[in-house]
Structure formats: C-alpha cells, structure tokens
C-alpha cells in the first residue's frame, strides 16, 4: 500500500484544526558544534507529547460512520495509546486500549484521562495482539495499528511537511525510527518538497532491525530490543506499508547507543531547555555524536516526543 505526497497533504488538511503546528527551534551552540545549520522540529510540544497524534487522528477521522460509532481498539504501552485515546475523544469515537499491568502509572492515568477504556493484560503470560483481536471481533471494534497503515504513515509525514514549509529545503533530514511510520511518512514529504534532501533513519543500536532490513532488502525481525528508547522497541518495520516506502524513499540508517542517547537527552535539556524522551532524542543524538559529517549542510532533525519520567531520568543521570 503506497502512500503518496497527496496523501500526506490530505492528512494535513484533516488534522490542521486540531494538531499543533509545533515550533522549529535552532541553537547557535549546536550549529557551532556540528558546523551545520540545524533546525529541530519539536514534536515534544505536540498534543499528548508526541507526533503520534498526527497519524492516529488522520486514521480515526477516515473511519466510516458505522466504524466510528462502534469504536476502535489499540494495543500499546506508550504514545500510540494516548494518541488513539485523545483522537477518539475529539472525534467522539469510543476507544479501548490494551495496556500491560506494569505500564507506567502516568501513562495509564493519561490514557484514562482522555476517556479511553483501558484493558489490562499480563505482559509475561498473555498476548496483547490476541486480546485486541478478540475484542475487535466481539465488539465490532476497528483495530488501529501503531505504524503499518497508510493513514498512520501519511499523518506522521505531516511533521516533515511542516518542517520543510517552515524552514526548508534541507540537505539532510534525520528522523527517529521504530516501526517506521514517522520515517516513511517524512521521507514521502521530503521527496516532494525537498527533492535533493538525503533522508536518514536513526535507531537504537540494540534495535537495528531497520538498518539491517535496509541493507539486506529483506524484512528482518529481531527479539524485543533492550533499550531505553521505548518508542523504538519494535521487532521489525511494517511489512505492508513502512518497509516498502523506506526502501523506496530513504537514503540510509544510523544507530546510537543508550549511553549516547542519555548524554544527548541531557544536552538537549540543558542547552535547548526542552524535555525530550529517549526515543525522541534518537535523530538529534546521531548528529550530536557525529555519526555523520554534516559540516556546511542545512539539516532538519525531528525531535519526536517528550514523554519521559523525569524521576527515572534523574536517577539514570545520578547513576552515571
């Protein structure tokens, strides 16, 4: 299922009145450090704290009247849950979210706060996909996948569309990658609006399935990666939508370690005064740790989210 620039543009019209047009920030310190002119698209300021609102709202808005009435189901312990819950609330679509019993309390509370019904499961003994599919069958709910869906990828691509409209074109665009919804959507937008731009996905080193799949041109699946970048703990890219789009439109991949990610998170907090979650810092980290030479280039960097438990992060800082 291909996603075209027209799909991204249509998604943008759909979400325009409800999504925030997030700021694009620059930093003289980071420009001096990298020798590049860097523009950060700050999706940590998006509603519910991450870009995932864009795709979820774009998907829910396109359901039929009957599907909207019956409701949706998603399984996620993270930002996709909150994105579906908030989109459901705004569109009057009942949302059921399947979450693990050990999900962070703040995330459970936020998801319930948006009016979603939360169904808890035991992550060690139960299969969340099975639970969600069973709920979908019993109650006639529509399953909203986190990345491998054309409406999700098109919605996420609006982040790059805004970034290029506001500050582009670019020589280089760096984008965090988990299942590849954000990366594939942004690559589709960049191909159209900034054709000379190289688009690079950034993954945690422990979860480099995307980089491997990109090299081998075969979808590679790994065990759940052990990384602090919880938004990128995906086993593989999406076989139907995101992997084909990435093969077609993306120019390469980079990886960063958890230790580098922590350092970059604190750097962004201290120097740019912005709260960024580990997954949200992936692309910035690749630039800050000079995984590639960006000297003289105009660079776009997507900061994808800001939902981090500060007590946890402070403890990690203290432990170093």
Ligand X SMILES: *Cc1c(COP(=O)(O)O)cnc(C)c1O
Q: Active-site positions?
A: 52, 77
| Stretch of 15-23, 180-188, 244-252, 286-294 contacting ligand X, by CB under 6 A | 180-188
- Which segment (60-68, 87-95, 226-234, 310-318) binds ligand X by CB under 6 A? 226-234
Q: Which is nearer to ligand X, 68 or 80 (CB)?
A: 80
178 is a contact residue toward ligand X (CB under 6 A): yes
Question: Environment class of residue 101 by beta-carbon count within 10 Å: exposed (0-12), middle (13-18) or buried (19+)?
Answer: exposed
Q: Closest separation between CB of residue 76 and ligand X, Å?
A: 9
- Give Dmax (Cα) for the chain: 58
d(C-alpha 236, C-alpha 209), whole Å: 6
Residue 202 CB, nearest approach to ligand X (Å): 10
Of positions 97, 183, 254, 299, contacts ligand X by CB under 6 A:
183
Answer whether the bond into residue 169 is a cis peptide, omega within 30°. yes
> Under a CB-based contact definition with an 8 Å cutoff, are residues 231 and 280 in contact?
yes
Task: Kindly state whether residue 177 participates in binding ligand X, applying the rule CB under 6 A.
Answer: yes
In the complex with ligand X, the residue whose CB is nearer, 255 or 304, is: 304
Q: Applying CB under 6 A, which of residues 182, 188, 272, 283 lies at the interface with ligand X?
A: 182
Classify strands 37-42 and 24-25 as parallel, antiparallel or unpaired.
antiparallel
Which residue among 58, 79, 82, 255 contacts ligand X (CB under 6 A)?
Answer: 79
Which lies closer to ligand X via its Cβ, residue 58 or residue 234? 234
Reported as type and span, the H/E element at residue 90 is helix 79-91
- Residue number of the CB atom closest to ligand X: 305
Return the number of the residue (176 or 300) whose C-beta is nearest ligand X: 176
Q: By CB under 6 A, what part of segment 85-144 binds ligand X?
A: none
User: Which listed residue (231, 241, 262, 265) binds ligand X by CB under 6 A?
Assistant: 231
- In degrees and rounded to multiples of 5, residue 77 shows phi and psi of -100, 0
The verdict on 168 binding ligand X (CB under 6 A) reads no
Q: Which tokens in the block code for residue 308?
A: 């981090």
Q: Which residues contact 275 (CB under 8 A, 6 or more apart)?
A: 44, 269, 306, 308, 310
Residue 41 or residue 52: which is nearer to ligand X going by CB? 52
**Beta bridge mates, 40:** 25, 301
Q: How many CB atoms lie within 10 A of CB 296?
A: 10
- Name the one range near ligand X by CB under 6 A: 4-12, 27-35, 111-119, 277-285: 277-285
Inter-residue contact 47 to 21 (CB < 8 Å) = no
> Residues interacting with ligand X, by CB under 6 A?
50, 52, 78-79, 147, 156, 176-183, 231-232, 234, 277, 279-280, 304-305
């Amino acid at each position: 299922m291909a996603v075209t620039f027209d799909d991204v543009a249509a998604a943008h019209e759909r979400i325009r009145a409800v999504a925030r047009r997030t700021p694009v920030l620059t930093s003289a310190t980071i420009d001096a450090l990298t020798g590049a002119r860097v523009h950060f698209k700050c999706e940590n300021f998006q509603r519910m704290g991450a870009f995932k609102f864009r795709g979820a709202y774009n998907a829910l808005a396109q359901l039929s009247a009957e599907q909207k009435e019956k409701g949706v189901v998603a399984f996620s312990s993270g930002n996709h849950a909150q994105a579906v819950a908030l989109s459901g609330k705004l569109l009057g679509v009942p949302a059921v979210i399947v979450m693990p019993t050990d999900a962070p309390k703040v995330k459970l509370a936020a998801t319930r706060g948006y009016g979603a019904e939360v169904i808890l499961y035991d992550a060690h003994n139960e299969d969340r996909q099975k639970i969600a599919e069973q709920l979908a069958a019993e109650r006639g709910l529509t399953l909203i996948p986190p990345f491998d869906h054309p409406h999700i990828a098109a919605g996420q691509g609006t982040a790059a569309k805004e970034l290029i409209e506001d500050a582009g074109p670019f020589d280089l665009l760096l984008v965090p990658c988990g299942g590849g919804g954000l990366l594939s959507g942004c690559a589709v937008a960049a191909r159209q609006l900034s054709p000379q731009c190289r688009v690079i996905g950034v993954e945690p080193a422990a979860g480099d399935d995307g980089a491997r799949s990109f090299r081998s041109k075969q979808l590679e699946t790994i065990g759940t990666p052990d990384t602090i970048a919880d938004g990128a703990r995906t086993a593989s890219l999406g076989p139907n939508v995101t992997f084909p789009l990435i093969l077609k439109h993306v120019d390469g991949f980079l990886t960063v370690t958890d230790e580098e990610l922590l350092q970059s998170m604190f750097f962004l907090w201290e120097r740019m005064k912005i709260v960024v979650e580990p997954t949200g810092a992936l692309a910035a980290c690749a630039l800050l740790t000079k995984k590639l030479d960006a000297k003289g280039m105009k660079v776009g960097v997507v900061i994808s989210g800001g939902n981090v438990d500060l007590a946890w992060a402070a403890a990690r800082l203290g432990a170093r």
